Amino acid sequence: MDIHTLFAALRPELHKVTLKNGAELYVHRPAISNFEKCIDAKSTLLYTVSNEDGVHIFSDVDEDGKINVNYIDALIVSEINGEVMKLWPKAEEPQIQDQIEKK
């Protein structure tokens, strides 16, 4: 078993989102370590939005190399959160157990 291949398969998958001005960011479901921290729109952005390398791009304080979420337009926050919510399966869609290949 190759641990790197396994880890890649278990990481949250990145999904590209293009903003109205053409800027791109990537959304994903939170890792289990951050799942319980996603309690509102602001915290969800912190743990589910990253760059193409999977590095989180938002912070809730001024931090070099990151965008402070406190300065983002609330409507844009809502739109990005909507993209994150689309990543969760709906009741009529196959659940994760059905997506795992059984051998």
Q: What is the per-residue pLDDT across 50-67, written as a single tens digit (0 to 9) for each?
A: 999 999 999 999 999 999
Instruction: Tell me if 66 is assigned to some domain.
Output: yes
The answer to whether 68 touches 59, Cβ cutoff 8 Å, is yes
Instruction: Tell me if 103 is assigned to some domain.
Output: no
Q: What is the CATH number of the domain that holds 71?
A: 3.30.2220.20
Instruction: Tell me if 11 is assigned to some domain.
Output: yes
Instruction: Tell me if 98 is assigned to some domain.
Output: no
Report the alpha-carbon angle 7-52-37, nearest 5: 65
Instruction: Tell me if 67 is assigned to some domain.
Output: yes
Whose CA is closest to 80, among 63, 99, 56, 53?
A: 56
Domain count of the fold of the chain: 1
Domain assignment of residue 28, given as a range: 3-89
Instruction: Tell me if 96 is assigned to some domain.
Output: no
Phi, psi angle pair for 18, to nearest 5° = -105, 125
Confidence of residue 89 (pLDDT cuts 50, 70, 90): confident
Instruction: Tell me if 94 is assigned to some domain.
Output: no
Q: What confidence score (pLDDT) does residue 99 get?
A: 55
pTM beyond 0.85: the answer is no
